[in-house]
């Protein structure tokens, strides 16, 4: 029985090492996009759904006002999702002080199982332009974001473009852990795109064609799931034509977003992210998610099995830590985020328990987000 168990463990760990190794190669081989000046100017509708974001909206709006792009070639559509704070007045004040920017302030129509998807869908219906750029109220855009995105769209035949996201962090352990976690997700995103089997994207920095959004019926079919406005839509665009779903790797289009400020909100956010996994249609995404979960669960389990030698336990953990470090190192080069080895070692011991804990919670419980309770 022990031999069978060890064989299973070896196969699981080998699959994980192969998977992360492939993603690392993908990240390394993905070239940074070099923009070129073009006379052709694409027009963008920037869409932001917000709910009680009075603390974050000023920074986002300020960054949009400073975009290095013709003001006549983009608009801003903000959808108020039943905010109870001063968010709306902040937006109204911004509109009054920036008449040079076309801004639409809409209200979400009704409470639904997926309010963010409902808000984005409404914004798309009101959008005047061909290209929709979604971001979040707690984000900040760089000044050349639209300029570089325009260059990419002119040079490539695209229906959807995924782009990088990173946290604005301080030196707290919670912030640092969230950054490491997000870097691993960004590594999986870039690596899978490079191998032409995209498994992740982030709605905080996602661009898609309005006509194609209508063609795939938007969020129809998954609008009963609260999260996943990004990944479910990407699956539909991939089914439409996987050759036109691309990743734009450029420092100029990195979007900075806020890390969660408490352990409770962090856990709720990660449950929200994980809850949509079982509803994914792509076999590749499910396989990768299952491999990561089973590997992390395995490392937790072997610590409590007296029949497994200490050498095997330590060897398994060290192998995983090594291959994960290779991936994170590749990703961190692009983001210019230094990997501090002592912190990495600490987080590597925490991570398997964290992944297993979040996975189990996402399968059996709902979560609270923006003051609402959602079923999984």
Sole residue written with tokens 């029949």: 307
Q: How far apart are CA 106 and CA 139, in angstroms?
A: 19
Question: 180 or 4: which carries more pLDDT confidence?
Answer: 180
Q: What is the per-residue pLDDT for 1?
A: 59
Kindly report, residue by residue over 152-166, the tens digit of the pLDDT: 999 999 999 999 999
pLDDT value at 217 more than 70: yes
pLDDT value at 5 more than 70: no
The pairing of strands 245-247 and 160-162 is: parallel
Question: 225 or 207: which carries more pLDDT confidence?
Answer: 207
CA count, 13 A, side-chain hemisphere, 180: 26
Q: What is the per-residue pLDDT for 207?
A: 98
State mean pLDDT over 330-345: 92
Contact 83, 51 (CB under 8 A): yes
pLDDT band at 194; cut points 50, 70, 90: very high
Q: CATH homologous superfamily for 31-274? A: Spore Coat Polysaccharide Biosynthesis Protein SpsA; Chain A (3.90.550.10)
Q: What is the per-residue pLDDT for 297?
A: 93
Least confident segment among 234-238, 257-261, 278-282: 278-282
pLDDT value at 267 more than 70: yes
| Domain range list for the chain | 13-27+282-361, 31-274
Q: What is the per-residue pLDDT for 312?
A: 81
Q: What is the per-residue pLDDT for 164?
A: 97
State mean pLDDT over 198-204: 95
Q: Tell me what the pLDDT averaged over the chain comes to.
A: 92
The pairing of strands 74-80 and 44-50 is: parallel
Q: What is the per-residue pLDDT for 376?
A: 59
Global model pTM greater than 0.85: yes
pLDDT value at 97 more than 70: yes
Least confident segment among 6-15, 100-109, 196-205, 347-356: 6-15
Nearest to 175 by CA among 23, 307, 347: 347
Least confident segment among 14-18, 94-98, 236-240, 307-311: 307-311
The secondary element (H helix, E strand) that includes residue 143 is: none
pLDDT value at 296 more than 70: yes
Nearest to 159 by CA among 232, 223, 220, 239: 239
Q: What is the per-residue pLDDT for 199?
A: 93
3-state helix vs strand vs coil in the chain, percent to 5: 55, 15, 30
State mean pLDDT over 211-236: 90
Question: 264 or 113: which carries more pLDDT confidence?
Answer: 264
Q: What is the per-residue pLDDT for 277?
A: 79
Q: What is the per-residue pLDDT for 295?
A: 94
pLDDT band at 8; cut points 50, 70, 90: confident
pLDDT band at 71; cut points 50, 70, 90: very high
State mean pLDDT over 194-201: 94
Structure tokens at 354: 């964290």
pLDDT value at 348 more than 90: yes
């Amino acid at each position: 029985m022990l031999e069978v168990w060890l064989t299973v463990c070896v196969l699981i760990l080998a699959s994980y090492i192969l998977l992360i190794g492939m993603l690392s190669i993908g990240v390394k081989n993905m070239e940074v996009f070099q923009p070129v000046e073009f006379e052709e100017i694409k027009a963008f509708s920037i869409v932001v759904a917000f709910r009680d974001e009075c603390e974050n909206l000023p920074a986002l709006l300020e960054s949009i006002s400073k975009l290095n792009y013709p003001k006549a070639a983009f608009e801003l559509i903000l959808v108020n999702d039943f905010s109870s704070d001063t968010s709306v007045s902040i937006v109204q004040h911004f509109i009054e002080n920036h008449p040079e920017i076309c801004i639409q302030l809409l209200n979400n129509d009704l409470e639904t199982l997926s309010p963010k998807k409902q808000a984005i869908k409404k914004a798309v219906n009101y959008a005047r332009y061909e290209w929709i750029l979604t971001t979040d109220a707690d984000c900040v855009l760089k000044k050349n974001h639209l300029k570089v995105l325009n260059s990419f769209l002119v040079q490539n035949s695209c229906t959807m473009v995924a782009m990088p996201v990173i946290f604005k962090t301080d030196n707290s352990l919670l912030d640092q852990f969230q950054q490491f976690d997000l870097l691993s997700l960004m590594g999986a995103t870039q690596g899978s795109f490079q191998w032409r089997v995209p498994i992740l994207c982030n709605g905080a920095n996602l661009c898609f064609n309005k006509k194609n959004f209508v063609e795939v019926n938007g969020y129809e079919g998954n609008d009963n799931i609260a999260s996943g406005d990004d990944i479910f839509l990407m699956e539909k665009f991939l089914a439409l034509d996987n050759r036109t779903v691309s990743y734009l790797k450029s420092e100029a289009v990195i979007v900075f977003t806020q890390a969660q400020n408490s352990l409770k909100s962090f856990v709720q956010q990660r449950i929200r992210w994980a809850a949509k996994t079982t509803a994914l249609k792509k076999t590749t995404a499910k396989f990768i998610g299952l491999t990561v979960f089973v590997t992390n669960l395995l490392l937790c389990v072997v610590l409590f099995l007296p029949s497994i030698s200490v050498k095997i336990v330590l060897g398994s953990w060290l192998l995983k830590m090594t291959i994960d470090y290779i991936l994170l190192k590749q990703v961190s080069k692009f983001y210019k985020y230094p990997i501090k080895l002592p912190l990495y070692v600490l987080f590597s011991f925490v991570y398997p328990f964290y992944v297993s804990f979040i996975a189990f919670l996402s399968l059996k419980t709902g979560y609270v987000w923006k003051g609402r309770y959602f079923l999984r």
